[in-house]
Structure 1
Amino acid sequence: MTDDEIIHRIREQDAAGELPTPAPPEAVAELETAMGHPMPPLLKRIHLEVADGGFGRWGKALSLTDTTYKLQRQRSAAGGVLGGRSIPNYPPSVVPLLAWDCAIWSLVDYSTPEGRMWGWDPSQRCPDHGHALFPEDLTLAGTALGGVRV
């Protein structure tokens, strides 16, 4: 699927109008500055054109501005990024994207334009030594954003 088709599908799934409004450009710029990398283009378009989080599997993609979800006691995606840097073996370009419950997360690598995906699963791996974080053989578009029916 093309980026346009993925964006269209996300909008189709929001027929009830439950997605939050798009993120302000300043929120995207702040996170990109904190990361030292641009947001993958597809993810940037979704945040700026469709919704600031709330999309994907069970609507649990993180917002750039909302404080509903907390990762490591942080109040936003940017806070989670900066907090995650204290985890051993945590690549500095990887950002939390989607909560799966049971402390399982999907993360996206900002250093890759296609948005290479990573997983976090402390129930299957050792979180104390950074082994709970692992690369996936997927990209952002290839994941169908964790539940966008494509």
Structure 2
Amino acid sequence: MTEDELIAVIRKQTPAGNLAPVATPALIAAVEAEIGHPMPRFLRRLYTEVSNGGFGIDGWECASLSPLPDHYFCDGEDILELYRSFTTPAEDPGDETVLPPGIVPIMDRGCTMWTLVDFRTPDGRIWVWDGAACCRKLLPTTITSVREYFTEGVVGRLDGPAPLESQLARGSCGH
């Protein structure tokens, strides 16, 4: 499936009520400036060609890049609020729940589970955060890009019990 075909499928699968105005180049630049890394190209296309949040897979929706008073996509006002909350050091210096800079929570999957994108990599490697799992920390997956993640999702290969967690890299969290 080409990128254009994948974007068309994602747009078609996004509920009409979730289609917010697309993100502007200025908004993308502001997000990148705070995160300190460029947004992976395919993720940028989704935000600038589909919607400023609300698109996703399997009923999970990506957060918006800016507050949208008429839309609610996750347990955070926008990506920067989420990013700040995940990267702000806790009072406990040994707390492993703080994400390294550049890894951005984009999709609230419920029950303290998150899909995260590594902005430090050009294609946006996918990571998992599961606050209820055995580790309560950032876990790598075998999915190396945002495009691969959405491709797997739209064709149904992320379905089933613990769908994304089945993609955890070997040795993560005792798996």
Scaled to the shorter chain, the TM-score interval is: 0.7 to 0.9
Give, in whole Å, the separation in 1 of the partners of 2:155 and 2:81: 29
8 Å CA contact 1:63, 1:77 repeated in 2: yes
AA aligned opposite 1:36: G
AA aligned opposite 1:112: T
8 Å CA contact 2:60, 2:108 repeated in 1: no
What's the offset of the Cα at 1:59?
Answer: 4.8
AA aligned opposite 2:111: C
Residues 1:141 and 2:114 are matched in the alignment: no
What SS does the aligned partner of 1:107 have?
strand
Aligned length: 142
What's the offset of the Cα at 1:145?
Answer: 6.4
Give, in whole Å, the separation in 2 of the partners of 1:99 and 1:76: 11
What SS does the aligned partner of 1:137 have?
coil
AA aligned opposite 2:149: T
Paired residues for 1:1-150 under 5 Å = 1-14=1-14, 17-18=16-17, 19-57=19-57, 58-66=59-67, 68=72, 69-71=74-76, 75-86=77-88, 88=96, 90-127=99-136, 132-138=137-143, 139-144=145-150, 147-149=153-155
Give, in whole Å, the separation in 1 of the partners of 2:4 and 2:104: 23
- Could you list the runs of 5+ residues in structure 1 that have no partner in the other structure? none
What's the offset of the Cα at 1:28?
Answer: 1.1
AA aligned opposite 1:137: T
What's the offset of the Cα at 1:27?
Answer: 1.8
Give, in whole Å, the separation in 2 of the partners of 1:145 and 1:106: 15
What SS does the aligned partner of 2:99 have?
coil
AA aligned opposite 1:84: F
Query: Normalized against structure 2, the TM-score is what?
Result: 0.72
What's the offset of the Cα at 1:4?
Answer: 1.5
In structure 1, the residue matched to 2:165 is: none
- Could you list the runs of 5+ residues in structure 2 that have no partner in the other structure? 90-95, 157-175
What's the offset of the Cα at 1:34?
Answer: 0.6
**Larger RCO: 1 or 2 (CA < 8 Å, sep 6+):** 1
Over the matched positions of the two proteins, sequence identity in percent amounts to 35
Q: CA RMSD in A?
A: 2.1
What SS does the aligned partner of 2:141 have?
strand
8 Å CA contact 2:60, 2:109 repeated in 1: no
AA aligned opposite 1:134: L
